[in-house]
Amino acid sequence: MKTTNQRLLNWVDEIAALCKPDAIHWCDGSEAENTRLCNQAVEGGTFIRLNESKRPNSFLVMSDPADVARVEDRTFVCPTDPREAGPNNNWRDPTELKDTMRQLYDGCMRGRTLYVIPFSMGPIGSPIAHIGVELTDSIYVVVNMRIMTRIGDEVLKALGEDGDFVECLHSVGAPLDPGQKDVPWPCNADNKYISHFPEDPSIWSYGSGYGGNALLGKKCFALRIASTMARRQGWMAEHMLILGLTSPEGEKKYIAAAFPSACGKTNLAMLEPTLAGWKAECVGDDICWMKFDDNGQLRAINPEAGFFGVAPGTSMSSNPNAMRSLYANCIYTNCALTPDNDVWWEEMTDEPPAEALSWKREPWTPDSGTKAANPNARYTAPARQCPVIDPAWEDPAGVPISAILFGGRRPSTVPLCFEAPSWQYGTFLGTIQASETTAAAAGNVGVLRYDPMAMLPFCGYNMGDYFAHWLSMPGRVPNAKMPRIFFVNWFRKSDDGRFLWPGFGENCRVLKWIFERVSGQTEAVESPIGLLPTPGALDLSGLAIPEEDMAELLAVDAKAWLKDIPAIRAHYEKFGEAIPAVLRQELDALEARLQAAAT
């Protein structure tokens, strides 16, 4: 169907006049349309059809080596006032940047089709959902957006003739002359811009065809733009998984969790509990939008409809439910191709294949000395295929959030789990969330890298103001029922380098304690940093963890914490006067408690 929304029609006409495509196609979201586009991409050499008996209706794409990941240095947040963007974003003057990009967009779609993708972030019609429209010249984007969001005619119906939407413009920046043969992965390696204009709000992307640079519903809309909308409108757009946890008695609670990269976020989202009778179900693995309902309950939706996961390291041992989600209807990007037309990536199997075609389309063997798959290789899979998808994952009303988890990769100092006694202190803990650098990383070992609320690359405005927005949430509505906030650390190590906690499915034991804390079923003991499990409160049945290891896992070393205080102060100084005064007060109070405990 074509829309009656005049603003949308005018915008499409405006962009078509600027970008000069050969044709315009309004995406209806149908299976027939998807099949036709996938066949077209196979014929053009962009898609490789995978083995139908192993991975039905699935395709592999190998990108240009110059276009393999998010490009932080080419990502811009452009309010009129640079102070609004904050030190956490690259700022450009919006008028000047739009002028620059208009010159790049002029004629950029010659020889290509302009695809109009109406999409809903969240269940169509949900009071928590929002609509966007992406204009793109990439079939790869259309097919991936169909998996990652809800697209097509149903969205246009919900939009109506006067509904609001976020404008999302994307081009690979590779116009074709008459008769010029296309390449499998068109892009413009020398001119990449991923630009956000929160005052419109709109997103303009140019030059990259990859991932979050091109699938503009992903980090661009769902976090950078949505966070600015949430600030204005009084809700929360967060980089969090959403997990449903059901006890053996049938009681259910929902938990959201924000972790920096490499801290097991997707693994936790698709947890297989080891405790008998406990059930975990996935609402979302990456993004969480939360709004208050009429009763003051904070309710969450996963605004996405698919998983855009990092493939390397994903296996039946690390995340069996992710692997089981990939049986069909998937797009793989920058994985290796095996001789039987299947995909492979590092750590997917115990033994690598004897030979493969690498992501660079070069012959590969285990002796090649290179990676078969790109370290940022991806799978795009429909969330509905996850075997532990929560029955309420598409409930328009959202699910009620009882607890929020923060955490980082900390081999020392931070205990396995503890609770914040208040929302204010919990917010403070989120602002100092960090991971330690390891020997594998460049630079010094043990340096803290702060990633507040796992939002440092994704907050669409000044992070100091973002912290203030968090602090304001309890006062947003009468009788606000705020989730309890907890901090977890699965990565504590012994002095000889052993992980003290087994992790993975055993993390359900920590979730059980959190569940029982929220339900008022278990006690906690006060410490200088927060509320810790009492002795015996963690269910360790069937686990052979030595008592001294558990003591270490739950120990609070006040002197070690005090060593972190200068780094936290330096972290705060990056945001200057934007840091709310109460957070500095919380830091001072924490330091005083630690000094008292250390003497």
pLDDT at 432 over 50: yes
194: CATH: 3.40.449.10
Q: Give me the phi and psi of 252, to 5 degrees please.
A: -125, 140
Q: Which are the catalytic amino acids?
A: 263
What mean pLDDT is predicted for residues 183-188? 97
Instruction: Please check whether residue 59 lies inside any domain of the structure.
Output: no
Local structure of residue 182 (DSSP, 8 states): P
Choosing from 188, 213, 234, the residue where a domain stops is: 234
Under DSSP, is residue 202 helix (H, G, I), strand (E, B) or coil?
Answer: strand
Instruction: Please check whether residue 63 lies inside any domain of the structure.
Output: no
What mean pLDDT is predicted for residues 516-529? 96
What mean pLDDT is predicted for residues 497-511? 94
Under DSSP, is residue 465 helix (H, G, I), strand (E, B) or coil?
Answer: helix
318: CATH: 2.170.8.10
At residue 257, the pLDDT reads 98
Whether residue 415 sits in one domain with residue 400: yes
Number of domains forming the structure of the chain: 3
Q: Name the band, by pLDDT with cuts 50, 70 and 90, for residue 440.
A: very low
At residue 447, the pLDDT reads 82
Minimum mean pLDDT among 153-157, 272-276, 437-441, 539-543: which range? 437-441
Q: How many CB atoms lie within 10 A of CB 372?
A: 28
What mean pLDDT is predicted for residues 314-326? 94
Q: Give me the phi and psi of 19, to 5 degrees please.
A: -85, -20
Whether residue 356 sits in one domain with residue 462: no
Whether residue 225 sits in one domain with residue 110: yes
The answer to whether the beta carbons of residues 256 and 405 sit under 8 Å apart is yes
Whether residue 316 sits in one domain with residue 340: yes
Whether residue 230 sits in one domain with residue 247: no
The range of the structural domain enclosing residue 441 comes to: 238-305+392-598
Instruction: Please check whether residue 141 lies inside any domain of the structure.
Output: yes
pLDDT at 344 over 70: yes
d(CA 208, CA 48): 20
Q: Name the band, by pLDDT with cuts 50, 70 and 90, for residue 580.
A: very high
Choosing from 344, 370, 385, the residue where a domain stops is: 385
Whether residue 300 sits in one domain with residue 251: yes
Whether residue 545 sits in one domain with residue 508: yes
Whether residue 301 sits in one domain with residue 330: no
Whether residue 373 sits in one domain with residue 242: no
Whether residue 511 sits in one domain with residue 404: yes
What mean pLDDT is predicted for residues 343-356? 97
Reading the block at residue 93, the tokens are 């003057």
Choosing from 234, 255, 290, the residue where a domain stops is: 234
85-116: pLDDT as tens digits: 999 999 999 999 999 999 999 999 999 999 99
Whether residue 531 sits in one domain with residue 457: yes
What mean pLDDT is predicted for residues 306-326? 95
At residue 173, the pLDDT reads 98
d(CA 459, CA 454): 9
At residue 287, the pLDDT reads 98
Q: Name the band, by pLDDT with cuts 50, 70 and 90, for residue 436.
A: confident
Residues in CB range of 232: below 8 A, 6 or more apart:
none
290-302: pLDDT as tens digits: 999 999 999 999 9
Per cent of the chain over pLDDT 70 is: 98
